[in-house]
Amino acid sequence: MTSFLAIAVSGCNKPAGEAPNSTGPIKVGQFASLTGKEATFGTSSDEGTTMAIEEINAAGGVLGRKLQLLTEDTQSKPGEPATVVNKLIARDGVVAILGEVASSRSLEAAPICQQSKIPMISPSSTNPKVTEVGDYIFRVCFIDPFQGTVMANFATKTLNAKKVAVFTDAKSDYSKGLAKFFKEKFVANGGTITVELDYNGGDKDFKAQLTAIKAANPDAVFVPGYYTDAALICVQAKQLGLAVPFMGGDGWESEKLVEIGQDAVEGQYFSTHYHPDVGSERSKQFLQNYRRRWKDKTPDALAACAYDSVIVLAEALKRAGTTDGPKVRDALAATKNFPAVTGNITIDEHRDASKAAVILQVKDGKYKYLETVAP
């Protein structure tokens, strides 16, 4: 990491961002997993981001200038975020960075943005550590202490679970954090964690751990991972006859969950940031425009959060009256009650957004809205 920082800081001697009195489009950088294991995260985010930028430009842009989006693919791989964010800042002179979805990848890029005084807004990374990196790092979504509580209460109150197994991706900051916050709340609710096991994101065979989980006889299993692994875990659990409810967090959200998991994910539950059936006028308008823009595709939470990251940035640029990093930072920090697609956004003193979560259930291969949980 230190060597990447060194490149960002000493690779060019001018300060990061654009030259003073620049004209022409305002460059905004985006880093996203457009390919690889979490490709649907990046693809959906990019659709939301692109649409927001197009709408803002069609309405005249910001500060009398158009926004220009520069997108880099992190390939769902560690190491890439640092490389591509350095490029966006040092080579392209972007004034802000949008991304990533996966917390581990946001955590890799955040120190570079912080060091360069280029504001970074993660649309949907939920691990608390992301914004703790520094005062230039923001997010427009809730964090996992809340999400963990939401699913622990759901397990206790709705599923009536007394004993839960937790199955965590040992390579993911998101998974480890969400597992921890879930456990704390579930135990505080009087529940027991019967067994806790790990896998490594990208594994193909989960049968050894699932056999041990089955032997512990839990009422439900919590899998705070990403969709490919979660789907395979549900498939193999079904093959082993482990027929209890499985629950996850926002990392389950992908059309691939159902494609890979088929009937093994039917009936399972997860929490996330957005559902097209609920929400404000703003959210309904977004749904309509998104379907028009992306060939009838229904937006997911990634698209909605990414869209929100752009409109929050554009609004901050307007209030700042400049693209200057420190001033844009201050304007972002002052975001109050801003009507966005995923809810009203107020950036708190930790640079996080406190917002409601929704709980969904897989029903007939679709995501059915069950309930909204306010913070």
Residues in contact with ligand PHE by the rule CB under 6 A: 41, 101-103, 124-127, 174, 250-251, 253, 272-273, 301-302
Q: Which bin fits 24, alpha (ψ -120 to 50), beta or left (φ > 0)?
A: left
**Between 207-215 and 227-239, two packed helices, what is the crossing angle to 10 degrees?**
60
Question: Based on CB atoms, which residue is closest to ligand PHE, 268 or 323?
Answer: 268
Find the shortest distance in angstroms from Cβ 39 to ligand PHE: 12
Q: What is the rounded CA–CA span in Å between residue 70 and residue 285?
A: 26
Find the shortest distance in angstroms from Cβ 178 to ligand PHE: 8
Question: Based on CB atoms, which residue is closest to ligand PHE, 76 or 126?
Answer: 126
Q: What is the rounded CA–CA span in Å between residue 164 and residue 179?
A: 11
Find the shortest distance in angstroms from Cβ 174 to ligand PHE: 3
Q: What is the rounded CA–CA span in Å between residue 77 and residue 25?
A: 30
User: Residue 143 has which token pair?
Assistant: 């964090």
Question: Based on CB atoms, which residue is closest to ligand PHE, 73 or 253?
Answer: 253
Question: Based on CB atoms, which residue is closest to ligand PHE, 83 or 147?
Answer: 147
Find the shortest distance in angstroms from Cβ 195 to ligand PHE: 24
Question: Based on CB atoms, which residue is closest to ligand PHE, 50 or 124?
Answer: 124
Q: What is the rounded CA–CA span in Å between residue 232 and residue 238?
A: 10
Find the shortest distance in angstroms from Cβ 325 to ligand PHE: 24
Chain-centre distance for alpha carbon 304: 10
Q: What is the rounded CA–CA span in Å between residue 121 and residue 204?
A: 33
Q: For residue 227, which amino acid is it?
A: Y
Question: Based on CB atoms, which residue is closest to ligand PHE, 74 or 125?
Answer: 125
Contact by Cβ (8 Å): 301, 248:
no
Closest residue to ligand PHE using C-beta atoms = 174
| Burial environment of residue 30 by CB neighbours within 10 A (0 to 12, 13 to 18, 19 or more) | buried
Question: Based on CB atoms, which residue is closest to ligand PHE, 272 or 309?
Answer: 272
Q: For residue 87, which amino acid is it?
A: K
> What's the sign of the alpha-carbon dihedral 239, 246, 205, 264?
positive
Find the shortest distance in angstroms from Cβ 26 to ligand PHE: 26
φ, ψ dihedrals at 3, nearest 5°: -65, -35
Question: Based on CB atoms, which residue is closest to ligand PHE, 71 or 125?
Answer: 125
Find the shortest distance in angstroms from Cβ 11 to ligand PHE: 29
| Burial environment of residue 200 by CB neighbours within 10 A (0 to 12, 13 to 18, 19 or more) | exposed
Find the shortest distance in angstroms from Cβ 74 to ligand PHE: 12
Question: Based on CB atoms, which residue is closest to ligand PHE, 162 or 180?
Answer: 180
User: Residue 23 has which token pair?
Assistant: 């004209």
Find the shortest distance in angstroms from Cβ 215 to ligand PHE: 30
Separation in Å, CA 202 to CA 33, 229, 237, 306, 326: 15, 7, 17, 25, 39
